[in-house]
Chains A and B, each alone.
Chain A
Amino acid sequence: MHFALVGLNHRTAPVEVRETLAFGPETLLRHLEALSTRPLLREAAILCTCNRTEVYAVTSDPEQTVTELSLFLEEAAAGKKPSRRLSESFYRYRDLQVAQHLFQVAAGIDSMLVGEPQILGQVRDSYDNALKAGTAGAFLSQLMRRGIEVGKRVRSETGIGEGAASISYAAVELSRKIFGELHGKKVLLVGAGEMAELAAKTLASHGARTVFVANRTYDRAVQLAQGFDGVAVRFSEIQGYLGRADIVISSTAAPHPIIDRKMVREAMHARKGRPLFLIDIAVPRDVEPAVHRLEGVYLYNIDDLKSVVAANIEQRSKELGNVESIVAEELSKFAAWMREQETAPVIAAFRRRAEEVRERELLRTLRRLKGLSEDEVRRLEAMTRAIVNKILHSPTAGLRESAHIGNGRMHLDAVARLFGIEALEELVPPRGPEGVSGSGGRPGPDAGREKGGGSR
């Protein structure tokens, strides 16, 4: 049994290529069903996010399957745009490489934004979809469950997902550290700008309630307020709203500060000790820096937020080593499991063969020995069984053990030859050449990775 994977991600393909393979939920299920009809594929799952599309498969022939999956993906995209570049963007993995890749994806270190939290849920969804489509069996389930487990471990045991990695999330996290829950907190948006709007939207999606929108031109404020389901405010009324809003995001094109110390001091008087968080994303700055020295007032400008984000990202990258070691640990557990899956059919086959011999010989002997009592027959039967078990005991144990060492395959071959099991190739097909093919493959960690079940 082997694993195969073909896919592309944000590193191997630009968005105009990725979007040709962005499947909606229904398309995805249809594709899974189509995959399940292919004779080579035993199990399959599709992981599809805005940054990646990957097909995971369980197969008896990984080489053939990788080719087949590439063709499948090209066909899937064909309707949208015939692209020669598509297959150049694919990475192709086999066996343990598949597990390593999935583990890295689930851990969030293959994401565009390292440590982002959504990917784990997306991996879970792809497994659920495969279950729903009936394309997930024992092997794929083991792979997916281990992958999800890696994602969970990484998030609870390392700080890879800690600290906001974007300006708007940094604003949300800071707000949370000041106000606790954001539910019912009011946001005042002064001026419009892409980043300010994004920050306000992010705050709103985390529970912040009313959005007041002020703008130089009132009509524009009204227009913006509609987008936020908020209230338009005249520019001259800002002073009053400083007392009512908890979070102020300012990004006007004004050449001079529009919120000064005096305004904020008066507003703080009305706030009765409730803190005020000012986010000044404008350049030149909208808020007088001296405001920050007032009690209960927290002013962050664009550079402050950027340095918070930079520090967080640095902190995350420090955790990469810990994440890699969890991935490596889980991968070696998974490798052991895979090798056990290899030895299991051989053990079963050669035990079956011994059992056949035993039964045949026992029958032959019993036919010749007439007049044995029932008890004597039972004793003979028990004796032959004991002989077989005792002889097979150490080769069985040896084989089980060989699953955990490098040259296990050699042992398998030897046992097969010694016991005359000829169909070993059928039981355990040989591995294809290992290594990354396709132009889009990731360099680095793949090269020095541990080999799968042993050498050929």
Chain B
Amino acid sequence: MNQVQSIFLAVAALGFLTSSGLYAMYFRGQKNDFGFWATVFASGSLVVLTLSLVAGAIELGQLPIGAVSWTVVFFLWVAVCVYLYVENRWRIKVVGSFFLPAVTAGLFLALWLPSRREPLAPILQSPWVAVHVSSMFLGYGTFLLASLSGILYLVQEKEIKSRRLTFMHFRLPSLETLDTLSARLVSWGVLLLGAGLVTGSIWASKVWGSPWSWDPKQTWSLFTWGFYVLFLMMRYGRGWKGRKSAYLTVLGFAAVVFNVLGVTLFMTALHRFS
């Protein structure tokens, strides 16, 4: 990571921090001014983060996913894009009050993570990598938001069941909204992850000679995808809505996290990021 990229990254991180503060104030008082500026800051910071990624991409000559920190930054970038789309489409800024602080924490973590650029393995130099990684990350980003929506559903559900309504009840969206949102996001995530798996296989068949080699990473990704497909079948086929559905989105994202971190860290796999 050179100096220009680090500066962009630091500016973006500070911008997201400000945005998080504004989202928090919006959550507290539900004032539209705060909400407006929160989104403005988040969008502005996203632009700066994009510049940082572009600078990285120019230096590497391809998607900047060589080092761990860059991988995290790229994932956060994708996740913020997904979030801002969802916010604009669903008009629910409240989710941002939880999402943006998480993104900010992630970015500061990325600043601190090792960013040493290792020489790119020749097999990573393919346009299929870019498509594969992008769609996988888009999928992960939607699953992250789906699980956040699921958690908020559980909080709201608990409020209504307890019959003692607090601040959270009034601020959070309705059960219906949160439930539908997380299911929609899972549907999108399944499509994106599916595209990621297919492009990954095409790439694998080129570099490894076979589209599928039961590598731990591949296996886990397929398992995660299968889990979400099953989730959608149960939901739309058998009416597994509400609490059950919310728990499953959280569980699903736990599988995603294990896939991204656990498999990479604990298992030896053909499929490595660097």
Chain A min CB distance to B200 (Å): 34
Q: When the two chains form their complex, are residues A274 and B177 in contact, meaning their CB atoms are under 8 A apart?
A: no
Binds A, one of B46-54, B94-102, B162-170: B162-170
Contact residues on B (Cβ < 8 Å of other chain), bracket: 20 to 34
**Per-position 1/0 for A340-376, Cβ under 8 A of B:** 0000000000000000000000000000000000000
Q: When the two chains form their complex, are residues B165 and A179 in contact, meaning their CB atoms are under 8 A apart?
A: no
The 8 Å CB contact of B242, one of A177, A295, A307, A308, is A295
Instruction: Judge if B2 is at the interface, Cβ distance under 8 Å.
Output: no
How far, in angstroms, from A272 to B236 measured CA to CA in the complex? 9
Tell me which residues across on chain B come within 8 A of A298, comparing CB atoms: 160-161
Name A238-292 residues within 8 Å CB distance of B: 271-275, 292
Evaluate whether A308 and B174 lie within 8 angstroms (CB atoms) in the complex, with A157-B29, A272-B239, A273-B241 already known: no
**Per-position 1/0 for B171-184, Cβ under 8 A of A:** 00111110010000
**Per-position 1/0 for A171-196, Cβ under 8 A of B:** 00010111111000000000000000
Tell me which residues across on chain B come within 8 A of A157, comparing CB atoms: 29, 31
How far, in angstroms, from A275 to B235 measured CA to CA in the complex? 14
Chain B min CB distance to A279 (Å): 12
Q: When the two chains form their complex, are residues A176 and B31 in contact, meaning their CB atoms are under 8 A apart?
A: no
How far, in angstroms, from A311 to B239 measured CA to CA in the complex? 35
Tell me which residues across on chain A come within 8 A of B169, comparing CB atoms: 177
How far, in angstroms, from A27 to B177 measured CA to CA in the complex? 47
Evaluate whether A179 and B170 lie within 8 angstroms (CB atoms) in the complex, with A174-B160, A273-B239, A304-B163 already known: no
The 8 Å CB contact of A180, one of B176, B235, B244, is B176
Q: When the two chains form their complex, are residues B241 and A176 in contact, meaning their CB atoms are under 8 A apart?
A: no
Tell me which residues across on chain A come within 8 A of B244, comparing CB atoms: 273, 295
Smallest CB gap from B234: residue in A = A273
Chain B min CB distance to A323 (Å): 14
Contact residues on A (Cβ < 8 Å of other chain), bracket: 20 to 34
Q: When the two chains form their complex, are residues B170 and A176 in contact, meaning their CB atoms are under 8 A apart?
A: no
**Per-position 1/0 for A139-157, Cβ under 8 A of B:** 0000000000000000011
Tell me which residues across on chain B come within 8 A of A292, comparing CB atoms: 161
How far, in angstroms, from A156 to B35 measured CA to CA in the complex? 12
Chain B min CB distance to A282 (Å): 17
Chain B residues with a Cβ under 8 A of chain A: 29, 31-32, 156, 160-161, 163-165, 169-170, 173-177, 180, 235, 238-245
5 A-B pairs closest in CB distance = A272-B239, A273-B241, A273-B239, A180-B176, A180-B174
Q: List 13 A-B contacts (CB under 8 A).
A: A174-B160, A176-B174, A178-B175, A180-B176, A180-B177, A272-B238, A273-B239, A273-B240, A273-B242, A273-B245, A275-B242, A295-B242, A298-B160
